[in-house]
Structure 1
Amino acid sequence: MIKNSDSTQLERQWKILSILSWENKGVTINQIYNRIAKNFGEKVSPKTIKRDLDDLTMVFPIYEDGEGRGTTYALEKYKIEDFVFSVQELFSLFFLREIIRKYDTSEPGKLALQLLERIISYIPSIYDDYIDRLYKTFLIQKDIDSDTNVTVETLKMINDAIVEKKCIKIRYYSFTSDSETVREVNPYIMYEKDGHYYLTGFCKLHNEIRDFRISRMKEIEVLNKSFEILPEFDKTKYYKYTWNILKGSTRYKIEIKFTGNAARLVKEYDRYRADDLIENEDGSIIFIKTVSQLDEIKRWVLGFGSDAEVLGPQEFKDMIYNEIIKMAEKIKGA
């Protein structure tokens, strides 16, 4: 059944590009109209197709031939065989595939890997030997546990709501409270962290901006309600003060002195997380970081034991002290 198109402009233009890529010769607007109806079951007006073609020709190598209704449009095609790869480019292609492989337990990762495998399959066979040798000499460990229940369709639904500024209603499981609630959210932006997908948006239930793990959304419905992003929302600042995932409204300037082996480890592996890192002559370091939530960085600091000394703020010093006392009491009573 052919229906009037409810596709976004991006989706429509992708369909037009697909049709042009299928044809070995130029096609008219009327032929594109018929192919969209046949292959995608949608009706798009010739005026809209013409407007989309005008936009696409500004970006893609699409050529016109003829005049009036007989004008044909053709997409210049490129083949991988036309490219000569350097050793560095082949290594980068292999590296990219192995990085994506870390996400292959999730549907988006699996589809991305299939796409890249498909591209690699068209590379001239003269490069196969080099890629085979890379498999034997270079290993990228799989250290990411991807969300297995997040589908591309779910991400697309949320993405469309973000683009069109439409409110969504979700039935959401909160790990913190171990309960489910139904809430309306104005979706702002999606992001990926350690194989998990998150949505940042304004939660009307709590009347504040919050993060939602998409795998914990049990139901999603796009509502016919429009919204505007709060003018004070700055995505750069919003994520800047995050240690890992958890966020808060308070700013804490954390200062920690690391000594011994901990100082060497932090300099080697965690320097990038610091706002500032001061190296002292005795080999110790002062690690400075402003965060908006203390629980996550608390667990990190405790992992270094007595080689970590919290210099401030006092609230964080008290938190670490109380946690150590509780741990000592449990060990003493065991």
Structure 2
Amino acid sequence: MYGQVRGMKTDRLIRLIRIITLVQSKPGIMAKELAERCETTERTIYRDMEILSFANIPITNLGHGKGYQFVGNFALYPMDLTEEELMAFAVLPSLLEQVDLVPPDLYSAYEKVMAAARKEKLLRQELLDSVTNVIQMGTPAYKDVKTNFLSTIIQAILSQQTIEARYHTQSRNVTTVRAIDPYYLIPREHRFYLIGYCHQKKAIRTFRLSRFLEVNILDQTFEKDDFNLKAYLKDTWSIERGEKRIAFKVKFSPRVARYVKEEEMFVKPKLTDLEDGSLLFEVTLNHDREFLQWLMGYGAEAEILEPQSYRRKMKELLQRWLGVYDRDKV
């Protein structure tokens, strides 16, 4: 008698796993086909679906005539379980015990699956650490100790988990503790910047990675909703955003024209080759500072044509700069 009961329990467990596999391989599969593939009745399939739902396996019925599919990105194999999915699987034996469905062999199978999931998680972390170790970051001159939160922040971005961070704002010379939903990691000018939702400011903010003093991943998860990175950085030369719309026209000499063309940019300028070999560079930006710094790198090979106000501004800047070198040595 025990052997028969044990066989019935084992058959149901195997059928539950088979249902998950079938729904994964064929989203929208109907109860009738599930019953045929599992060699049982539709009524039994409905009972099995109730058990799976009770175990937090995210299978949903799409409606009359549309069958079953997974909610989100749940998958049986490869494991790739999220923390929530791993927790759901972890409570499966206790749930099955309540309905008297636990065969003796379940625990060894359960332990193997959990071990495989944890192994995958460990391998992902090792891969992440290896990648971040390849990326060598500098250290600000004022810091005595080098800190690198790149791996932690990438992990939080991938798992969509909120971080708690101690962050130094250089412009105000203050340090604050704040919760941040990390959206994107952006490389700019030999630095990394984090773009995310700041709970303290209740708005999207940009954070320089080297200014993080401490970072911890919280259990709280988040959704990016309708945030669009491309729209957020529209008309931004590098990372500093503004509210202006400045239409620049710059003429580059023939000596540097070809080098300007191969510059990797985050905006799309209009480039026009002129008859004398020089290059007309046209771009509309929402902020000026980073662009002007870039222009100064080309020195006398770059000439601002428009706007006239920026032509005068550059002239005044160069005069002040020249004045520094005109002073008598102390």
> Normalization by structure 1: what TM-score?
0.53
Distance 1:113 1:203 in 2: 24
Output one character per residue of 1:79-129: Cα deviation in whole Å (capped at 9) or x when no partner. xxxxxxxxxxxxxxxxxxxxxxxxxxxx97761499xxxxxxxxxxxxxxx
Q: Are the counterparts in 2 of residues 200 and 210 from structure 1 also a CA contact under 8 Å?
A: yes
Output one character per residue of 1:255-284: Cα deviation in whole Å (capped at 9) or x when no partner. 111124133432354689642101111222
Work out which of the residue numbers 164, 172, 177 in structure 1 matches 2:167: 172
Q: Are the counterparts in 2 of residues 274 and 287 from structure 1 also a CA contact under 8 Å?
A: no
Other-structure match for 2:289: 295
Whether 1:184 aligns to 2:183 is: no
- RMSD between superposed Cα atoms in Å: 4.1
Distance 2:290 2:283 in 1: 13
Other-structure match for 2:322: 328
Distance 2:168 2:251 in 1: 39
Other-structure match for 1:111: 130
Distance 2:170 2:199 in 1: 19
Work out which of the residue numbers 137, 140, 144 in structure 2 matches 1:146: 137
Other-structure match for 1:99: none
Other-structure match for 1:53: none
Work out which of the residue numbers 211, 223, 246 in structure 1 matches 2:240: 246
Whether 1:161 aligns to 2:160 is: yes
Q: 1:201 to 1:268 in 2, by over 3 A?
A: closer
Which of these two proteins has the greater Rg computed from alpha carbons? 2
Distance 1:300 1:195 in 2: 14
Other-structure match for 2:112: 35
Give the letter for the 1:199 counterpart. L
Q: Are the counterparts in 2 of residues 16 and 32 from structure 1 also a CA contact under 8 Å?
A: no
Output one character per residue of 1:41-87: Cα deviation in whole Å (capped at 9) or x when no partner. 79xxxxxxxxxxxxxxxxxxxxxxxxxxxxxxxxxxxxxxxxxxxxx
Unmatched segments (≥5 aa) in structure 1: 18-27, 43-106, 115-141
Other-structure match for 2:304: 310
Unmatched segments (≥5 aa) in structure 2: 1-55, 57-71, 82-104, 120-125, 139-146
**CA positional deviation for 1:36:** 3.8
Q: 1:12 to 1:222 in 2, by over 3 A?
A: farther
Other-structure match for 2:48: none
Q: How does 1:1-334 map to 2 (within 5 A)?
A: 15=79, 31-38=108-115, 111-112=130-131, 145-146=136-137, 149-161=148-160, 167-193=162-188, 196-222=191-217, 229=224, 231=226, 233-269=227-263, 274-334=268-328
Give the letter for the 2:112 counterpart. R
Q: Are the counterparts in 2 of residues 168 and 184 from structure 1 also a CA contact under 8 Å?
A: yes
Give the letter for the 2:130 counterpart. L
Count of matched residue positions in the alignment of Structure 1 and Structure 2: 222
Q: Are the counterparts in 1 of residues 182 and 194 from structure 2 also a CA contact under 8 Å?
A: yes
Output one character per residue of 1:110-149: Cα deviation in whole Å (capped at 9) or x when no partner. 61499xxxxxxxxxxxxxxxxxxxxxxxxxxx9x743661
Distance 1:319 1:32 in 2: 73
Identify which range, 285-294 or 30-39, moves more after superposition. Answer: 30-39
Output one character per residue of 1:275-312: Cα deviation in whole Å (capped at 9) or x when no partner. 21011112222101222221111111112222221122
Distance 1:224 1:249 in 2: 36
Q: Are the counterparts in 2 of residues 169 and 222 from structure 1 also a CA contact under 8 Å?
A: yes
Distance 2:160 2:240 in 1: 24
Q: 1:281 to 1:205 in 2, by over 3 A?
A: same
Give the letter for the 2:229 counterpart. K
Q: 1:216 to 1:13 in 2, by over 3 A?
A: farther
Residue aligned with 1:306, SS? helix
**CA positional deviation for 1:250:** 2.6
Give the letter for the 1:171 counterpart. R
Q: Are the counterparts in 2 of residues 161 and 168 from structure 1 also a CA contact under 8 Å?
A: no
Distance 1:9 1:197 in 2: 29
Residue aligned with 1:261, SS? coil
Q: Are the counterparts in 2 of residues 145 and 195 from structure 1 also a CA contact under 8 Å?
A: no
Distance 2:80 2:109 in 1: 7
Q: Percent identity?
A: 27
Distance 2:315 2:200 in 1: 35
